[in-house]
Amino acid sequence: MRGVSRRGLLGLGLGAAAAMGVAGCGLPDVSGPGTPGPVKNPKPGQRPGRPIGDGSTADTGPQPHQPDRPVPLQPGETPPQFVVFSWDGAGEIGNGLFPRFLKLARDHGATMTFFLSGIYLLPESKRSLYRPPNNPVGASDIGYLKDENVRATLACVREAWLDGHEIGTHFNGHFCGGPGSVARWTPADWETEIDQAMSFVTGWRTNTGFTDVEPLPFDYRKELTGARTPCLLGRDNLLPTARKLGWRYDASSPGGLQVWPGRRSGVWDLPLQSLPFPGHSFEVLSMDYNILANQSKNTTQGVPANYPAWRSQATATYLGGFRRAYETNRAPLFIGNHFEEWNGGIYMDAVEEALKGMADKRDVRLVSFRQFTDWLEVQDPKVLARLRTLGPGRSPTGGWNTYLTAA
């Protein structure tokens, strides 16, 4: 985390208050008034859905577009190069970024993780339903969405899941400072926050009154297996609750290294990572906002004349971290993003170019956190322990055939 201030650790939410218009993921089918019926026009492999609760969600069977069942590495086999692109907040506020990256993923056979903020499915008129721990009723450090943006977010989340992406959680109010900060929350506070995030996702139909929007095609109580905390804070007290809920991973740790992960408190620890930062002697965290904090400091609208160089620097950061792992220890690469147009949208361009630069390489797998966790959990613990001995940029002694055969 050298060169990154506390400000640089913030994973900000969407600027929802400035939303203008709606750039959605396709218009939802009309299901008519009253309780919704089964999902209409299911995609191949998707059976008609069984509504759950008030019909906000539906059980449509196994998720489409999942990879083959993972298998253990064979002795001497070269590990795949896993890359996880993830998105904090995951709301569609009218800037078209959610559908843009869904299309990019389809074009390159990638799956991603979308950490959905629960209040992005709660209308502002119902904000009193949110009772954040240690904060006033209805308070939030990110804006509530307009009704049209809630609709667009529902359409995009639905499309994302049908495309094979993971829907995690970014919790709700994104409190990073002051006495109500998530850094001060207890395990019981986290449980309350998670219960509310779950209720906003599984009860949006009741809260919005929308009858012309199809249900989310999954049982969120079964789908939700991991999270990233606001501002990467409060993880230590979240982990006991995550373990209690049966979550399998946490992606909240800041300042991780490019090494193979292990478990912490029984949960896979999948941190944002320190990557080489071109032009500097320090490394930067693998998230768009942290790169921004080292470029334009405390503003998201820096000097436009600097945008081309900053865009190139951000792209080179992602690709440099990728090459360091790909050519040496094959540690997974975790990249965090926000659907924001900070500094003229250069970080969105950078992550798109980086993904394109990784997708066509041999052995590369662009997966979600849950899919990566699936792979970890079928591996021989001795092999994973052997992989964890390789530091950032360190190649296996004698090559993979020798190194992993010895394991």
The residue among 65, 114, 72 whose CA lies nearest residue 89 is 114
How does the average pLDDT of the chain come out, rounded?
90
pLDDT at position 327 is 98
Report how far residue 26's alpha carbon sits from residue 302's, in angstroms, rounded to the nearest whole number.
33
Task: Sort 323 into a burial class: Cβ within 10 Å, 0-12 / 13-18 / 19+.
Answer: middle
pLDDT band at residue 10 under the 50/70/90 scheme? very low
pLDDT band at residue 6 under the 50/70/90 scheme? very low
Contacts of 64 (CB under 8 A, 6+ apart): 43, 44, 45, 46, 162, 163, 164
pLDDT at position 320 is 98
pLDDT at position 27 is 44
Dihedral-angle region of residue 316 (phi above 0 means left; psi in -120 to 50 means alpha; beta otherwise): alpha
pLDDT band at residue 141 under the 50/70/90 scheme? very high
pLDDT tens by residue, 282-294 = 999 999 999 999 9
pLDDT tens by residue, 204-255 = 999 999 999 999 999 999 999 999 999 999 999 999 999 999 999 999 998 8
Report how far residue 120's alpha carbon sits from residue 94's, in angstroms, rounded to the nearest whole number.
13
| Residue % of the chain over a pLDDT of 70 | 88
pLDDT at position 24 is 61
pLDDT at position 15 is 39
Answer yes or no: is pLDDT of 28 > 80. Answer: no
pLDDT tens by residue, 323-380 = 999 999 999 999 999 999 999 999 999 999 999 999 999 999 999 999 999 999 999 9
Phi, psi of 182 (to 5 degrees): -60, -20
Report how far residue 397's alpha carbon sits from residue 360's, in angstroms, rounded to the nearest whole number.
27
pLDDT at position 255 is 81
Mean pLDDT of 252-279: 96
pLDDT band at residue 11 under the 50/70/90 scheme? very low
Higher pLDDT, 40 or 182: 182
Beta strand pairing status for 364-366 and 81-89? Answer: parallel
Answer yes or no: is pLDDT of 130 > 70. Answer: yes
Tell me, rounded to whole angstroms, the distance of Cα 209 from its chain centroid.
28
**What residues does 18 pair with on adjacent strands?**
none
pLDDT band at residue 4 under the 50/70/90 scheme? very low
pLDDT at position 47 is 57
Q: Which pTM was predicted? A: 0.91
pLDDT band at residue 81 under the 50/70/90 scheme? very high
Task: Sort 138 into a burial class: Cβ within 10 Å, 0-12 / 13-18 / 19+.
Answer: middle
Contacts of 340 (CB under 8 A, 6+ apart): 12, 14, 15, 97, 288, 300, 347, 348
Radius of gyration (Cα) for the chain, nearest Å?
21
**Residue owning tokens 């190649």:** 395
Mean pLDDT of 58-62: 97
pLDDT band at residue 44 under the 50/70/90 scheme? very low
Is residue 144 within 8 A of residue 16, CB to CB? The reply is: yes
Q: What is the b/e burial string over 354-392, where b = at least 16 CB atoms within 10 angstroms of the residue's CB?
A: bbeebbeeeebbbbbbbbbbbbbeebeeebbebbeebeb
pLDDT at position 35 is 32
Ordered structural domains, the chain, with CATH: 81-405 (3.20.20.370)
pLDDT tens by residue, 184-196 = 999 999 999 999 9
Contacts of 272 (CB under 8 A, 6+ apart): 232, 251, 253, 254, 255, 256, 285, 286, 287, 290, 334, 336
Report how far residue 95's alpha carbon sits from residue 22's, in angstroms, rounded to the nearest whole number.
7
pLDDT at position 25 is 83
